[in-house]
Amino acid sequence: MTTTGEAPARKLTAKGRATRDRIIKAAAELMYEHGAQNTNNEQIRIAAGVSGSQLTRHFPTKESLVRAVLARQADVIRARHQVPEFAELDSFAALRRWADTFTASLDMVRGGCTFGSLAAEVVKTEPSYRDAVSDGFEQWQELFRRGLSIMRERGELRPDADPVALTHLIAAAFQGGALLDQAVGDSKPLRDALYGALAYVESFATRP
Amino acid sequence: MTTTGEAPARKLTAKGRATRDRIIKAAAELMYEHGAQNTNNEQIRIAAGVSGSQLTRHFPTKESLVRAVLARQADVIRARHQVPEFAELDSFAALRRWADTFTASLDMVRGGCTFGSLAAEVVKTEPSYRDAVSDGFEQWQELFRRGLSIMRERGELRPDADPVALTHLIAAAFQGGALLDQAVGDSKPLRDALYGALAYVESFATRP
């Protein structure tokens, strides 16, 4: 990832880093709620409790801030998937628990996926967003690919189950379902899409 | 749909209507390429070959224009689905032909779904966009629900096949797959997602 126009995080003092993190967190919340387009410096400054000069020192351009928010949301999502109850996403039960957790979240109805909805909003506007978007989706999908590969190695999935293709179905069902949820203000599209995708994955089980 | 601030199309002369359509078409292309956010009046005016006053007479606000573009893209998409080779989307073969056609389109790799990518960009910014987005998705999904219902009535799909739930899976796989395609610049995510979704639909076939 390039750092054009952005203060490199690793050269910051502890205090500077805390300020930077506070700005990114405030920006992430505002952009999730209203879209990146409808989020301005003044709102971010107030929400983060920083001065205008602090904001522009850390993020001289909106582009640098949007990229930092995309990277943060990708990290947050990865962390939300790496919790004990989902194990390594390497069993049918773990995948069901994952789907249960995310379809129960009202976030999907209100604002879509915290990463995907921002990604979809900005993907056309800057080439560097496309890299950040692609990186984020890649990191997330890697969790499913790995889990499904482990299941196939253990013989729980048939040899003709393709972890890459099945991951694409799960990821697309999630992103598209979250968009449909957001549009209609109802959680049924995401639930139907995700449980349909998992039922298809389960159709490759060696034991019914 | 409200018409706040927008000249009602039905009261226009033939010439006025042609101008209005030209503006919407030019705006749709620019917004698809660069996003609504990065499309301004001047670009639309030049692409449509109209004066600034013509543009603002038809669309006094950007909001009114974005809503008209969403409505147009929904119409275009419906028309692209109602062609002889897709029949009524009421057979496994027709659904496969539909998937073949849309996954072969480079549009998905370049800019995502012509309706869904704009929908995802703007859905958070104005309450009236949410209505237009929801209407567009609804019209599109209705085509699949109807086709799947016909197949179930004919006994080609088992009674436990749920046309609503299966449509949500197909629609989500398409929208999410198109977003992933656009992010990575490759058509594999959409193809994997869509053919996975159709294979799941086919698992409800009464005859293998």
**Residue B93: CB partners within 8 Å, gap ≥ 6?**
none
The percentage of chain B sitting over the pLDDT mark of 70, rounded to a whole number, equals 95
Task: Identify the DSSP state of B10.
Answer: G
Q: Answer yes or no: do A124 and B138 touch at CB < 8 A.
A: no
Residues 38-77 of A with CB under 8 A from B: 38
> Is the CB of residue B103 less than 8 Å away from at least one CB of chain A?
no
Question: For domain B70-202, which architecture applies?
Answer: Orthogonal Bundle (1.10)
pLDDT digits (tens, 9 = 90+) for B136-147: 999 999 999 999
* Nearest-by-Cβ selection for B125 from A38, A122, A192: A38
Residue B110 has pLDDT above 90, yes or no: no
Rounded CA-CA distance B72/B34 in Å is 18
pLDDT digits (tens, 9 = 90+) for B165-174: 999 999 999 9
A44 by Cβ neighbours in 10 Å (0-12 / 13-18 / 19+) ranks as buried
**Chosen from A70, A124, A137, A160 to mutate, greatest number of chain B CBs within 10 A:** A124
A151 by Cβ neighbours in 10 Å (0-12 / 13-18 / 19+) ranks as buried
Q: What is the pLDDT of residue A1?
A: 42
* Nearest-by-Cβ selection for A176 from B35, B133, B173: B173
Q: What is the pLDDT of residue A107?
A: 84
Which of B74, B78, B124 has the alpha carbon at shortest distance from B98?
A: B78
H/E element holding B75? helix B62-81
Higher confidence at residue A59 or residue A105? A59
CATH of A73-202 among 1.20.120.1760, 1.10.3720.10, 1.10.357.10, 1.20.1640.10: 1.10.357.10
Q: What is the pLDDT of residue A3?
A: 44
The alpha carbons of chain A give a radius of gyration, in whole angstroms, of 19
Q: Cβ contacts (< 8 Å) between A134 and chain B: which residues? A: 183-185
The model's confidence at residue B9, banded by pLDDT at 50, 70 and 90, is low
Q: Answer yes or no: do A180 and B171 touch at CB < 8 A.
A: yes
Structure tokens at B59: 């669309």
Average pLDDT estimate for B98-127: 92
**Residue A25: CB partners within 8 Å, gap ≥ 6?**
A48, A72
Do A83 and A94 form a contact (C-beta atoms < 8 A)? Answer: no
Residue B4 has pLDDT above 50, yes or no: no
Residues β-bridged to residue B157 = B205
> For A179, which residue in chain B has the nearest alpha carbon?
B120
User: For chain A, what is the mean pLDDT?
Assistant: 93
Q: What is the pLDDT of residue B207?
A: 84
Rounded CA-CA distance A24/A18 in Å is 10
Q: What is the pLDDT of residue B10?
A: 63
> For B123, which residue in chain A has the nearest alpha carbon?
A183
- B205 by DSSP, 3-state: which? strand
Rounded CA-CA distance A24/A55 in Å is 10
Q: For the packed helices A188-202 and B188-202, what is the interaxial angle rounded to 10 degrees?
A: 80
Angle at B184 between CA A73 and CA A134, to 5 degrees: 15
Question: Is B9-65 a CATH 1.10.10.60 domain?
Answer: yes
Q: What is the pLDDT of residue A4?
A: 47
* Nearest-by-Cβ selection for A165 from B116, B125, B196: B196
Q: Cβ contacts (< 8 Å) between B182 and chain A: which residues? A: 123-124
pLDDT digits (tens, 9 = 90+) for B49-93: 999 999 999 999 999 999 999 999 999 999 999 999 999 999 999
Residues β-bridged to residue A157 = A205
* Nearest-by-Cβ selection for A166 from B134, B185, B196: B196
Angle at B115 between CA B111 and CA B120, to 5 degrees: 80
Do B111 and B33 form a contact (C-beta atoms < 8 A)? Answer: yes
- A161 by DSSP, 3-state: which? coil
Q: Domain locations in chain A?
A: 9-65, 73-202
Amino acid at B8: P
* Nearest-by-Cβ selection for A169 from B38, B112, B193: B193
Largest CA distance in chain A: 61
pLDDT digits (tens, 9 = 90+) for A76-86: 999 999 999 99
Q: Cβ contacts (< 8 Å) between B179 and chain A: which residues? A: 116, 119-120, 123, 172, 175-176, 179
The percentage of chain A sitting over the pLDDT mark of 90, rounded to a whole number, equals 88
B108 by Cβ neighbours in 10 Å (0-12 / 13-18 / 19+) ranks as buried
Rounded CA-CA distance B196/B208 in Å is 16
Structure tokens at A85: 């109850």
Structure tokens at A206: 């060696």
Do B165 and B145 form a contact (C-beta atoms < 8 A)? Answer: no
Q: Cβ contacts (< 8 Å) between A188 and chain B: which residues? A: 168
Whether B9-65 shares its CATH topology with B70-202 is answered: no
Structure tokens at B121: 């960009």
Structure tokens at A96: 């069901």
Q: What is the pLDDT of residue B72?
A: 96
Lowest mean pLDDT among A23-32, A43-52, A120-129, B198-207: A120-129
Which of B73, B77, B76, B41 has the alpha carbon at shortest distance from B56?
A: B41
The model's confidence at residue B8, banded by pLDDT at 50, 70 and 90, is low
Q: What is the pLDDT of residue B6?
A: 56
Q: Cβ contacts (< 8 Å) between B137 and chain A: which residues? A: 180, 183-184
The ipTM, to two decimals, is 0.93
Q: Minimal Cα–Cα distance from B153 to chain A, Å?
A: 21
